[in-house]
A = this chain, B = another copy of it.
Amino acid sequence: MIETPYLLFLGDAPDMLAAKVAIGIRDWRPENALGQIRLPGCGADLGLTDMTLAEAKAAGCKTLVIGVANRGGMISQSWKEVLIKALEMGFDLASGLHNLLRDEGDLVAAAQMHGGTLHDVRVPTDGYPIANGENRTGKRCLAVGTDCSVGKMYTALAMDAVMQERGLKSTFRATGQTGILITGHGVPLDAVVADFMAGSVEYLTPNNDDDHWDMIEGQGSLFHVSYSGVTMALVHGGQPDALILCHEPTREHMRGLPGFSLPSLEELRDTALPLARKSNPACQVVGISVNTQHLSEEEAVKYLAEVEERMGLPTVDPYRHGAGRLVDALATV
């Protein structure tokens, strides 16, 4: 559990793309994003108040979150100065970088001296059990994709946000680095040891109120040969009551796998649903989320209508048109 609220460290991000994690936090948990701190030359601006460490401290920030990708795979000296100063002032640090904070001797020393915590969210922190498959109370929704990076996290976050607006009980359950930094907790599923994958998902989505929904962040794809095992653990460990099918219609091959074509939405439905019913016989496919960012508004509307007609399921791009209809569909489960 990472302490909130956050001061978002943008470092020397060359552009907004490099600040993707910080943008996610600002957009989905604005109450956690009190301010930003930037180094000379930073090309990113989240539109948040620029704060010094002292100002952030006074404003109540607990954790300095590295919201930017680093260049060249190392934590530079100019970053270090800010990070160490933050530890000296009593902040915790949180990072999803491949290079771990805990591998930097000077950061470890400063954290120990000042009682701060270094959160490397790529590293599992808890001991996870072997999955036992026992039925859990409460309801769970899982986004599954025809491919990786088609909008599964966005879909789950958008549905969770609509649930909150409507006063319904919902929790977004993060399974990747960005999601964990956004919400402050979760399971970095791709870094969990194989035998404990499904168990870590059970752990992440425990018994809950009968009318509570876990919106589980999906990972990978059952059709992506590099990561399908991770997805399988979500389908079985997540024990979903509802599946949302996610798709990006302009992609020419599976991400990172030239020569591998994407499955159809029908194939995804017919593969994922029988597998999901092994852990939850009541599971249903309730809706479709399409990432139409590479289509015009007109093309997008036409495509969504075609898919909705063909599949007989509410079909939306939650980014363009909101996730309300997907949340409506949960009521049928």
Interface set of A (CB-CB < 8 Å, partner B): 130-133, 189-195, 197-199, 222-223, 225-233, 235-237, 256-257, 259-260, 271, 274-275, 278-279
Contacts and interface: CB of A to CB of B under 8 A. Distances in A.
A192 B130 CA distance: 15
A131 B274 contact: no
Given A226-B199, A236-B229, A191 B191 contact: no
Contacts of A227: 195, 198
A225 B198 contact: yes
Nearest to A236: B225
A233 to B, nearest CB: 4
A264 B237 CA distance: 22
Contact of A233 (B194, B223, B236): B194
Which 9 pairs, one residue from A and one from B, show the smallest C-beta to C-beta distance?
A: A229-B233, A225-B236, A229-B229, A232-B232, A190-B195, A131-B226, A229-B232, A133-B225, A225-B279
Nearest to A199: B226
A224 to B, nearest CB: 8
A194 B230 contact: yes
Contacts of A271: 274-275
A194 B193 contact: yes
Contact of A192 (B194, B223, B235, B260): B194
A204 to B, nearest CB: 14
Given A190-B193, A193-B194, A223-B278, 8 more contacts: A131-B226, A192-B193, A194-B197, A225-B237, A229-B230, A229-B231, A232-B232, A260-B278
A228 B233 contact: yes
A317 to B, nearest CB: 27
Contacts of A232: 222, 228-229, 231-232
Contact of A226 (B198, B222, B257): B198
A194 B198 contact: no
Contacts of A275: 222, 228, 271
